[in-house]
Chain A
Amino acid sequence: MLRANYFDGRSTRIYAVELSMVSDDLVVRGENFDFKFPFSQVQVDERLGRAARRLRFNGGAFCEVSDLVGLDGLLAMTPHQEGRIDRMQRRLPTVLVSCLAFMALAIAAYRWGVPWAAALGARRLPASVGKTITTQELKILDGRILLPSKISLERQKALRKQFMSLILPEGGVPNSNLLFRASSLGANAFTLPDGTIVVLDDLITTINNSQQIIAVLSHELGHAHGHHGLQLLLQSSLIGTFWTFYIGDISQLLAAAPVALAQAKYSQELERQADDYGAGLLRGNGMSPQLLADVLKKLTELHPSASKGGYLSSHPSTDERMQHLHFLAAHTSDQ
């Protein structure tokens, strides 16, 4: 005998009943009534946690059963089969496997899916998008973070001439804009979304070697060639969208935080790609990729702390990059 509450579907009145199986019929026995129902016409609710389950009859009437163990005993006497998803939700192995599969999928999407989609998108976007963003960025940076360059105009002209005479691996000359600026950001150069390359004064004065400066510029041309600026922007919006879907219920603010974290890791990968492109470019112009490694060495000696790298830094560790460039340089001399 299994205790249950019977509801007729027409009012909220509770009828305490007892349930049992007699051959193929479900017998519902209450204080004032007693009826049989062919079990094949009874709809049994899927199990959900420890919630009471319902046995539904035609016309909206049902029995609510809180004694889940007792109900299992009753159902064992019937042909009833528990749903597949119900079993998946309850069994520890399937929950663990789902958990691992979910994490594996998330990591794969994060590691390969997002960069792939963003790179594809960056290549497909019209050039005007990159131009608009670059104009906006420069408008914000100029006069605040970036100030007019103090490098002599002849020096700028000479560098620009050398830069423009480079032959790109894919053929043709660079079509990137080259800008010179002063900044407290240190010895650095960076590429904006439309391929414009900004060289900071400190980089030129610190390196003070035209060939090595050209090596840095070929690395930057790698960023321009790969549309890395746009790719990073697209990646941040993809990651942002995912987190809003995943976590948005809990906190909108939270969803913004992981974007910055993800960006750092992605940009390391892009630095490696730019190194490879720069090495190829230098080789194609009769120079050695070793030049880029030399620059890194010089900069490391000046700022030892910058070489540590790690997860949160936007560049891979300098040692790692130098080793890779040595390897590329060794490869060239063989040919």
Chain B
Amino acid sequence: MDNTPEQLRFTGTGSEYFGIWIVNLLLTIVTLGIYSSWAKVRRLQYFYRHTELAGSSFDFHGNAVKIFIGRLIALSMLIAYNLTIRLQSPLVIVILIALAIAMPWLLRNSLRFRLYNSSWRGTRFHFRGSLSGAYRVFLLNGFLALITVYIMAPYMHQRMKAYQHNNSWFGRTPFTFNARAGQFYLLYLMLLAAILVFALVVGLAGIGGTFIAITQMKSGGHPVDPRTIITTLVILYGALILAGILIGPTFHALITNLIWNNTRLGEHRIECKMSPLPLMWISASNFVLVVVTLGLFIPFAVVRATKYQMECMRVLPASDLQEFAAADPEVVGTVGEEAATAFDFDIAL
């Protein structure tokens, strides 16, 4: 029995993925978007099959036709929504309410679809969250966060992750989640503090710019010098990019670590050690290279980011990883996981 930590490994390379990306992008354009569902399956398969744990890779089993049908339904809903808005019809409210009611059900189905179609060593993942749970987490808590001016947002995030991870299974083995809402609040407070500091800098620049503009206007009745406006805008935009590069990756790393370090698969612990600095470097350099290459660096950028994030994760086995049993096929049939694929929304939670 071998209980050494098993690190996730990602073996994909940018140059390999480039060929897959460009061919599928072209096919998607030539077929006016129809091929995009098949391209998506191939993309997910590329990333799953190049992700290894203990020498075995993951696999994605999603059916492109089902994804295509789901997208058609989603598209028709979007068109219906846009049409009613365009026509300024009172139906908008009806459609908005219908969407709000349908959303938790759709999200739950998409979680089911995603997990049921993922496997490792031939054993599939499952999502068994209840429908009432989905309404509580996505609708009721969302509403509560809204009316408390987002003071409850960290709590809602914690509830969402708990719903997601506590209802996930690998074969017959359940995942458990035990991060507390207080830990989420701590991270969100740090995020708020960082944003406030940036807002102060940006606000001072804005006030300074406006002050100069007003002085110019008062002295001699000249209109505002456009250069003052441009300088102010450059400072604001620069601060926004800087905030995106510094704050975004830091918060992402800390919250991802919190979530995975508090998730277990049966008795096995999961460890995530993402650090902000490499993540900042990867996102900043990806940003520059994607701009310089007019987007052709995208596949390389995605592979770089995926590789770093995957390889931060380790499984600390409590016992042999060969002991997992697949779920009973009859149980899978009654829960209807195979059928629950009419909607596939790729919503990252």
Contacts and interface: CB of A to CB of B under 8 A. Distances in A.
Contacts of B20: 48-49, 89
Contacts of A9: 122-123, 326
Interface of A: 5, 7-14, 48-52, 54, 60-62, 64, 85, 88-90, 94-95, 98-99, 101-102, 105, 144-147, 182-185, 246-247, 249-251, 253-254, 257
Given A7-B121, A48-B49, A251-B287, A89 B325 contact: no
Contact of B120 (A12, A98, A146): A12
Contact of B324 (A12, A48, A183): A12
A7 B59 CA distance: 13
B321 interface: yes
Contacts of A51: 11-12, 46, 49-50, 57
B156 interface: no
A166 B120 CA distance: 77
B317 to A, nearest CB: 11
Contacts of B27: 85
Contact of B301 (A11, A12, A250): A250
Contact of A11 (B13, B286, B323): B323
B223 interface: yes
B212 interface: no
B121 A12 contact: yes
9 contacts: A10-B326, A12-B121, A62-B122, A64-B56, A99-B22, A102-B29, A250-B301, A251-B283, A251-B290
Contacts of B50: 48-51
B123 A147 contact: no
A49 B46 contact: yes
A11 B323 CA distance: 7
B23 A95 contact: yes
A122 B21 CA distance: 34
Nearest to A95: B19
Interface in B204-223: 221-223
B186 to A, nearest CB: 27
A90 B223 contact: no
Given A7-B122, A11-B322, A184-B222, 5 more contacts: A12-B121, A61-B122, A250-B287, A250-B290, A250-B302
Contacts of A249: 298, 302
Contacts of A105: 26, 29
Given A12-B322, A95-B18, A184 B223 contact: yes
A98 B26 contact: yes
Contacts of A254: 287, 290-291
A12 B45 contact: no
Nearest to B325: A11
Contacts of A246: 295, 298
B336 interface: no
B19 A50 contact: no
Given A49-B20, A49-B50, A89-B19, A184 B29 contact: no
B5 interface: no
Contacts of A60: 122, 326
Residue among A145, A249, A250 having the largest count of chain B Cβ atoms under 10 Å:
A250
The 8 residue pairs across chains A and B that have the minimum distance between CB atoms: A51-B49, A7-B122, A12-B121, A49-B16, A12-B324, A95-B19, A9-B122, A98-B26
B267 interface: no
B40 interface: no
B117 to A, nearest CB: 13
B147 to A, nearest CB: 27
B226 interface: yes
Contacts of B323: 11-13
Contacts of B301: 250
Residue among A8, A11, A145 having the largest count of chain B Cβ atoms under 10 Å:
A11
B6 to A, nearest CB: 12
B95 interface: no
A145 B46 contact: no
A275 to B, nearest CB: 25
Nearest to A87: B23
B220 to A, nearest CB: 11
Interface in B228-256: 240-241, 244
A101 B26 CA distance: 8
B223 to A, nearest CB: 5
Nearest to B286: A250
B19 A250 contact: no
B49 A253 contact: no
Contacts of B286: 250
